Structure 1
């Protein structure tokens, strides 16, 4: 794995962790927090699976990473408020 790929993965994880902290400050309780995390993780899994069907070789790796990142952002937007 190249240095650029590692940096992009770490930056994406850091960005997603920033999104998660906002849900814990509300009055939704533990059930709302679980739904938020489940939506984010579920979106990442679905996005990664969709991304794995695109490209070949190194391009497929980038497609999986991009799909997982966009899926997590979409799942977070749908389940966290």
Structure 2
């Protein structure tokens, strides 16, 4: 699974970095939209199309995404504070 995650990072990381560097929110949104589309399709496949299972997986994914976003936001805010402190 780590190899798959590494592949996602290799694919998405540079695209998101470039989008944010350029202030291109449409480009960043396209990355997120693509990931969300494939996540939805993957969930449907994993659940065998069962709507109850899809709902369970979506709930779990939403919680995981929220935790990841909050964690990265904390790191980003810490880095910003350290840069400001250094002057």
Aligned partners of 1:28 and 1:6: how far apart in 2?
31
Select between 37-46 and 19-28 the one with higher mean Cα deviation.
19-28
- The match for 1:40 is 61
Query: How many residues are matched?
Result: 58
Q: CA RMSD in A?
A: 2.8
TM-score, structure 2 normalization: 0.49
TM-score, structure 1 normalization: 0.52
Which structure would you say has the larger RCO, counting Cα contacts within 8 Å and 6 or more residues apart?
Answer: 1
- The match for 2:41 is 21
Kindly report structure 1 stretches of 4+ aligned residues shifted beyond 2 Å: 22-28
Gaps of 5+ in 2: 1-19, 81-87
- The match for 2:28 is 8
User: Bigger radius of gyration, 1 or 2?
Assistant: 2
